Amino acid sequence: MRVFFDERQLRHAPTHYFRRGAAMPHQEQPERAEILRDMLIGEGFEITKPQDHGLDPIKAVHNPDYVDFLPTAHARFVESAGSEALAIPTMHPGVRRGKVPKDIHGQLGWWMTDTSTPLTEGTWDAAYWSAQTAVQTAETIASGERAAYALCRPPGHHAMRDCANGFCFFNNAAIAAHHLTRTYTKVALIDVDVHTGNGSLDIFYERGDVFFCSLHPDPATYPTFFLGHADETGEGDGAGKSLNLLLEQGASQEDVLATLDTGLSAIRDFGAEALVVSLGFDMAVDDPLAAVSVYPEGFAEMARRLAALNLPTALIQEGGYLGPSLADNARSFLTAFREASS
């Protein structure tokens, strides 16, 4: 199984963000990718740098004006506010598609925004090469490989068409899925990160060529809030092509796997010809952002069930933070997927 990663993805290095009103160390650190990279090397995976596919695959998914804003945004912010200020928004234009949640922290975000995507000097390089990693993975399976893994960092599945959100700048999985529609008529994107793939849902909500499925706790009471409710099933050409499968907070490994089976059945019914997996290891019981209870063997079983779809598959890294089992969870999933798809 091919693996893609570029060291420039380590250049985004946020120090802190605000959560529940308090400043705290930022969870999305370069060390996450270094841990996964080192595990891959130890398990005999060969890591290749992606080619530069340019901005076109990114702008095919994201608002071109948003994309063009990012390369110089940090420098412009520093020039205006100084180097000691945190490059986050403090003025907000209004709301987007979704529902008002019940949780106070979600309501603050509905009427305001989150603070989790501070710009740093290296953010553009990291986000750009994270997206290129996803494009290269899509190119690889479109060219006939059974499976490939993109060690994307920063992650992407919360990024919407025209905004950064939830640690994410470019929606790597959506970029990969759209890129695959050049080769395949029907593409499925399944999100097994513990958080709603709200950005992917936003991007594909009115499209009929990409089936989107996400497993996550109820967004009425759990981040990222707003999008990902069970009754959000798509509109227009996308009617019936979005599926949000809600988990109880604290759900057991068996519950998660049973819910995954529901999603896999829907993908089969859709008739998908290729698969993109938004792969988050923050379903782990000991992840710093834990909400459900998956263990290393559960990740291995998840991999086997996904591989059993027998589809060309692009694995796109999303969450999974600096908990004690991060490397073990990644090792279990990726080695099991490699074995099952060989």
Q: Active-site residue numbers?
A: 158
Which pair of structure tokens corresponds to residue 252? 């057991």
Helix (H, G, I), strand (E, B) or coil at 37: helix
85: Cβ–Cβ under 8 A, 6 or more apart, which residues? 77, 78
The Cβ of residue 250 has, within 10 Å, a number of other Cβ atoms equal to 12
Question: How many separate helices (H) and strands (E) can be counted in the chain?
Answer: 10, 10
- The answer to whether the CB of 67 falls within 8 A of the CB of 43 is no
Task: Please provide residue 279's backbone torsions phi and psi, each rounded to the nearest 5 degrees.
Answer: -100, 110
User: What does the alpha-carbon distance between residue 49 and residue 67 come to, in Å, rounded to a whole number?
Assistant: 22
Buried b (16+ CB within 10 A) or exposed e, 22-51: eeeebbbbbebbebbbebbeeeebeeeebe
* Closest to 212 measured CA to CA, from 241, 183, 184: 241
* Closest to 5 measured CA to CA, from 172, 214, 190: 172
Helix (H, G, I), strand (E, B) or coil at 312: coil
